[in-house]
Amino acid sequence: MEFTGSQTIAATRAQVWNGLNDAAVLQACVPGCEEFVAHSDDEYKAVVVASVGPVKARFKGTLQLLDRDGPNGYRIIGQGEGGIAGFGKMTATVTLADADDGGTLLTYVAEAQVGGKLAQIGSRLVTSVANKLAAEFFKRFNATMSASADAANPATAK
């Protein structure tokens, strides 16, 4: 039940890797993020309002970074606990490679799980919804990285 996606980012691999490890960048990538606090070097605590279709609920969660292998990639685990609503968990393995045009190709392979009441009404939707959330996360990441790369090198700005 894995799904994959990719983004070509107009920034160097080192810049992308720094972004992937930058709390402010990560926070900007989480849709509906209300709070984002570093708990340790590789774990953040977050409060997120997840809004998908009829659902709009506040989740407390963590974002963990594992198996760091800079500047090649890592594993990122997002977990949300919505109290009575249940929980959701998504694991994504992120790989970076140099793209042909000097940018960076980011690919991810992700997997999602839900439990509790969320699973009761949502188990048939998990893959579609998780796919959409992951795509949104990496799209925002791309936008953030491309914007800051442009700011750092105004000559190459489009």
Partner 1 sequence: MYETTYLRAGSLDEAVAWLREHEEARPLSGGMTLIPTLKQRLAAPSHLVDLTRIDALRGVRVDGDRLFVGALTKHAEVAASPVVASALPALAQLAGVIADPQVRNRGTMGGSVANNDPAADYPCAVLALDATVVTSQRRIAADDFFVDTFETALEPGELVTGFEYPLPLRGAYAKFRQPASGYAIVGVFIAQFADRVRVAVTGAGASVFRWQDAERALGDDLSEAALGNLKVDETMLPDDANGSAAYRAHLIETYTRRALQALLAQPRR
Query: Checking phi first, is residue 67 left (phi over 0); if not, alpha (psi -120 to 50) or beta?
Result: left
CB of 73 to partner 1, least distance (A): 22
Q: Cα 76 vs. chain centroid, distance in angstroms?
A: 7
- Report the number of secondary-structure helices (H) and strands (E) in the chain: 4, 7
CB of 60 to partner 1, least distance (A): 15
Q: Report the alpha-carbon distance of residue 36 to residue 27 in Å, rounded.
A: 6
CB of 90 to partner 1, least distance (A): 14
Nearer to partner 1, 54 or 154 (CB): 54
Site for partner 1 in 32-71 (CB under 8 A): 52-57
On the CB side of 88, CA atoms within 13 Å amount to 28
Using the rule CB under 8 A, is 110 a contact of partner 1? no
On the CB side of 137, CA atoms within 13 Å amount to 28
CB of 158 to partner 1, least distance (A): 26
Using the rule CB under 8 A, is 132 a contact of partner 1? yes
Using the rule CB under 8 A, is 2 a contact of partner 1? yes
Q: Report the alpha-carbon distance of residue 77 to residue 93 in Å, rounded.
A: 9
Using the rule CB under 8 A, is 85 a contact of partner 1? yes
Where on the chain is the footprint of partner 1 (CB under 8 A)?
1-3, 52-57, 82, 84-85, 117-118, 120-121, 123-129, 131-132
